[in-house]
Structure 1
Amino acid sequence: MKNGKIGLGLIGAGRAGMIHARNYRSSVPHAYIAAVADPCEENVQSALKELEIEKGYADYRELLEDSEIDAVIIVTPTKYHCEIAVAAAERGKHILCEKPMAMTVSECELMEAAAKKNHVILQMAFMRRFDSAFMAAKAVVESGDIGDVVMVRSNTRGPSIPKPWMYDIQKSNGPLAEVNSHDIDTLRWFTGSEFRTIYAVGGNYRCPDARADFPDFYDNVILSASFENGMQGMIDGAQGVLYGYDARAEILGTKGCIYLGRTQERGITVCRSDMRKYDEFTNSWKFLFKDAYLEEDIDFADCILNARQPKVTGHDGKMAVKVVNAGNESIKSGQIITL
């Protein structure tokens, strides 16, 4: 570490990557961004200018050889996560990995094994666990105020049309991975249990360009589940909804219910003379979970400084990937999948 501060390398300088980078540039004590790596030269140059740093690499392997780097943030397409994480662990770099953790459970296990062997921290970036409302809801559940949890429902719906590379389920694992990984983790967290059975249905309603070459692609999905402890779960996910970014959850208990998530960009509702009321629907996960990202990044630095295990581990990432794979199998086969 340089002057007692953790030197971080950002691998993947796109939208999500730059959220982490901005946090570490100015808002996380005892940590700083030392370098970025991205195969897109435009991304690298833009990041260097904004972060006011000098070291940018086209190849992440060069970043890993930089002695100033103590830890990395992996924010690349999912299919590269395993390769990068294993290489980082072998060079003694701690790892904060964005979701989804990897493409398969076996890849997740390789990442876990590499981190354990090389004594580095592997933290999964499920930022909703650091959101103040989600944490408050978890405390209410544990207090017993709503009785025993019966069912957890979670949805994530995004306004954007998927990137073309996402159309190939074999390369992206589909919206269950790209959109609903957070929902899967939300269900695991609030039930305190693992998925037992899964039934999912998907369909392509908004992406006509994908239908001819990628008939298996879906932009809308519904997943129902049972859990090992007898609880129930439901997830719905969608891409290209246009109306805004919509992330909400409900925890139903034997004596009450918790509603989670806000949809307004600003805390104002306007009532007009046409007898209608208007408010602005939030259009970005970057706004909705801004504070949660910061708390997640602070926690990662604290884990490194105090040599403790993260609140969200590689195991959590692996179990989400397991559910994604089972959900895609259920969509394809039309069958209930037992885990």
Structure 2
Amino acid sequence: MVGQHGGLPGPLASGPLPNSAPAEQYRGRPVDKLCGPAQNGGRYEDQSSGVRRVLRDDAAVLGIAVIGAGRAGMIHARNLASGRVPGARLARLVEPRAETRQAASAELRLEHSSADYREALADPAVDAIVVATPSALHCEIVEAAAQARKHILCEKPMAMNAAECDRMLDAVDRAEVTLQIGFMRRYDAGFVAARRRVEAGEIGQVVSVKSLTHGPSIPQPWMYDLRTSNGPLSEVNSHDIDTVRWMSGSEFEEVYAIAGNYRSPAAREPFPDFYDNVILTARLRNGMQGCICGAQGVMYGYDARCEILGEKGLITVGGLAADSVVAYTADGSAGAVVRSWQQLFLDAYRAEDEDFVRCVREQRPPRAGGEDGKAAVMVVNAGNRSIALRRPVSVSEGESANA
């Protein structure tokens, strides 16, 4: 969810640590045993799964454990450790790689850290957790956290398939705890303003929504295997899928996707299905059109944009420029560009964390809940099936293939 520019002061301002450890390092079981066989996830319902246990009486400040010290996890951890999130503190960090855990703990000046997430769930000082591990672990951790009656902010993608999402939703419903999904663009000032202008009818009835994410990061090796990562549609374009749903007010019905591996030569032979470039077109349930473009390993900067076309006009949001001043001359154009999603969406992550704390305290549904996460996962699987079959695929067919 958000994005202005800036940085944290002092020792918390150091650069990002590596991505989270591979899934199998968080505990001793193989990835394919995490959440059992996939099943048909059923239909989407327009509601957020929700809330809520009463906090312990002495929880004047919400104690939050961050599970995963990769790039996203460290953004949340820095927000909490720096005091930038009112009413919350960083209570514990979980990271299985000892060197990464020690470096993160030193930077954050944190006393309590561990390699096993179960230690965080057993800690009475922890009221809530942020799950920022590889997505193949999300189901297991969220189910365990709900059983321990901890509130949960789970980074996208929510899970690997709709069946896992349903297990997570059932677990949080039984425990009456909050589940928020990390779609931080819903907290970005520009994206929020665009959504409000759509709602105000400024461009009339929406006809189509295009969302684009191009990132400079080279894919991590664990992402090459689509069986454990679901590929860039999941790891990168989950945000775009959610943006199209959010801006259109509708659900995906059918998708057609094409993809290729153009910038990741190391993956071509061992992982022939891996792609670092994808274009997905969609027919939405209300008759609107959707389009998503994704790319990893681009060299020109970090680029996140959305276009909403209506009957009466066009709204655009996002872009590559770090500010609004760009010079155009006979020699070309010159201007500062955004280099990373951490830079672009820094404020959005903080707003997301702040809203999570408010949702827990006020016992209200989050802006992006479990059903939103599930909807995106279903589109990811339909898109990946479309890539494999080279034909349009309905969202329901995409999930049935995982059964």
Q: What residue number does 2:343 align with?
A: 287
Q: How large is the Cα RMSD of the aligned pairs?
A: 1.3
Q: What residue number does 1:168 align with?
A: 225
1:125 equivalent in alignment to 2:125? no
Given candidates 95, 101, 124, the residue that maps to 1:67 is 124
Given candidates 237, 247, 250, the residue that maps to 2:294 is 237
Deviations 1:222-259 (A, max 9, x none): 00001111100000100111111110010000000001
Measured in 2, the distance between the counterparts of 1:131 and 1:270 equals 26
1:107 equivalent in alignment to 2:164? yes
- Three-state SS of the structure 2 residue aligned to 1:209 is helix
1:5 equivalent in alignment to 2:61? yes
Measured in 2, the distance between the counterparts of 1:187 and 1:277 equals 30
Q: What residue number does 1:196 align with?
A: 253
Question: Cα offset for 1:46?
Answer: 1.8
- Three-state SS of the structure 2 residue aligned to 1:7 is strand
Structure 1 runs, 4 residues or longer, greater than 2 Å off:
265-272, 274-277
Which runs of no fewer than 5 residues in structure 1 stay unpaired? none
1:256 equivalent in alignment to 2:350? no
Given candidates 269, 273, 286, the residue that maps to 1:212 is 269
1:44 equivalent in alignment to 2:101? yes
Residue identity matched to 1:249: C
- Three-state SS of the structure 1 residue aligned to 2:366 is coil
Question: Cα offset for 1:267?
Answer: 4.7
- Three-state SS of the structure 2 residue aligned to 1:133 is helix
Decide whether aligned partners of structure 1 residues 268 and 144 sit closer, same or farther in structure 2, where only a CA change above 3 A counts.
closer
Q: What residue number does 2:44 align with?
A: none
Question: Cα offset for 1:268?
Answer: 4.2
- Three-state SS of the structure 1 residue aligned to 2:258 is strand
Measured in 1, the distance between the counterparts of 2:328 and 2:210 equals 31
Question: Cα offset for 1:266?
Answer: 4.3
Q: What residue number does 1:77 align with?
A: 134
- Three-state SS of the structure 2 residue aligned to 1:224 is strand
Given candidates 347, 372, 379, the residue that maps to 1:323 is 379
Decide whether aligned partners of structure 1 residues 318 and 3 sit closer, same or farther in structure 2, where only a CA change above 3 A counts.
closer
Measured in 1, the distance between the counterparts of 2:235 and 2:184 equals 14
Given candidates 352, 356, 372, the residue that maps to 1:296 is 352
TM-score normalised by the chain length of structure 2: 0.82
Question: Cα offset for 1:24?
Answer: 1.4
Question: Cα offset for 1:172?
Answer: 0.6
Q: What residue number does 2:145 align with?
A: 88
Measured in 1, the distance between the counterparts of 2:325 and 2:207 equals 34
- Three-state SS of the structure 1 residue aligned to 2:257 is strand
Greater Cα shift, 228-237 or 47-56 = 47-56
Question: Cα offset for 1:275?
Answer: 4.2
Measured in 1, the distance between the counterparts of 2:349 and 2:367 equals 14
- Three-state SS of the structure 2 residue aligned to 1:332 is helix
Q: Percent identity?
A: 54
Measured in 2, the distance between the counterparts of 1:111 and 1:277 equals 48
- Three-state SS of the structure 2 residue aligned to 1:237 is strand
Measured in 2, the distance between the counterparts of 1:53 and 1:142 equals 43
Q: What residue number does 2:20 align with?
A: none
Question: Cα offset for 1:269?
Answer: 3.5
Q: What residue number does 1:186 align with?
A: 243
- Three-state SS of the structure 2 residue aligned to 1:46 is helix
Measured in 2, the distance between the counterparts of 1:326 and 1:79 equals 18
Question: Cα offset for 1:324?
Answer: 0.2
1:28 equivalent in alignment to 2:61? no
Given candidates 63, 70, 82, the residue that maps to 1:14 is 70
Measured in 2, the distance between the counterparts of 1:50 and 1:69 equals 20
Q: What residue number does 1:334 align with?
A: 390
Measured in 2, the distance between the counterparts of 1:197 and 1:281 equals 35
Measured in 2, the distance between the counterparts of 1:263 and 1:181 equals 19
Measured in 2, the distance between the counterparts of 1:142 and 1:267 equals 25
Aligned residues: 338
Measured in 2, the distance between the counterparts of 1:3 and 1:134 equals 33
